[in-house]
Structure formats: C-alpha cells, structure tokens
Amino acid sequence: MLIVPLAFAGIALSMYALWVSHNHKKKGYIALCDLSKEISCTRAFSSKYSRMFGIHNAVFGIAFYALILVITNNAILIFLALLAMLATIHLAHISMIKMKNLCLVCNAIYLINTSIFLVIINGLG
C-alpha cells in the first residue's frame, strides 16, 4: 500500500501550493519554500504556467491524488499515472529550463508523481 502515503503527501503539498498561490500577494507574506529569487515556489505557483483552463495546477493535483486513492482498476491507474508523468516532465521543464527556477515543493511533487508511476507500473500499489 505504498500508494496511500504518497497520495496523501501529494494532497498535502498541492494544498500548500494553493495556500502559497492565494497568499503570495499579502503584505509581508514569505512562503517557507522561498529561499532566493532562483529558489522560489511562489515564483512557480504565481506564474502564467501555474494554471490550465483557468484552474490552478494544484487543484488538478489534488484531484489526481484523490482518484489514486479510490480507483482500483489497474488500467485506469496506469493511464492516470502516465498523465501525471507527462505533466511532471512538462512542468519540470518549464520551471527549470524556461523560468530558471528551482521550486522545492514542485520537485517534491515531481518525486511523488514519479514514485506513484513506478509503484503502479510495477504492481506494488
């Protein structure tokens, strides 16, 4: 049951991403994950790349992790894990290459997504 703690960690990090995105404009607010101009989750979570169809990427993350917790069909789990890996590669490229930014929370989410993918394709769920 490796999927359960990974999914809960993903939900927690995605909720933190929403928190940072919501609070970043408040006077004096500094996210715990903002260490410098080049190491900043706020930069990632408030960028034009942080939304798809007007919805924050973290909302899609929360939905993904919730589905991982309740779906038992292996084919659907593999499909969802593959989609998450494609999103992970795409967003990692944007963050690190295009934006030249290291987002610690994003990287933790990428690690969780990769772990979920490996657990699912290896049937270790």
pLDDT digits (tens, 9 = 90+) for 3-29: 999 999 999 999 999 999 999 888 888
Quote the percentage of the chain above a pLDDT of 70: 99
Supply the pLDDT for residue 125. Answer: 61
Q: To the nearest 10°, the Cα dihedral for 107, 73, 55, 53?
A: 110
Both tokens of residue 112?
């969780």
Helix (H, G, I), strand (E, B) or coil at 32: coil
- pLDDT class for 124, splitting at 50, 70, 90? confident
What average pLDDT score do residues 84-101 get? 96
Q: Model's pTM, two decimal places? A: 0.91
Both tokens of residue 57?
């990427």
Count of Cβ atoms closer than 10 Å to residue 97 Cβ: 9
Supply the pLDDT for residue 86. Answer: 97
Supply the pLDDT for residue 70. Answer: 96
Distance CA 45, CA 62 (A): 15
Radius of gyration of the chain (CA): 15
Distance CA 24, CA 18 (A): 10
pLDDT digits (tens, 9 = 90+) for 44-70: 999 999 999 999 999 999 999 999 999
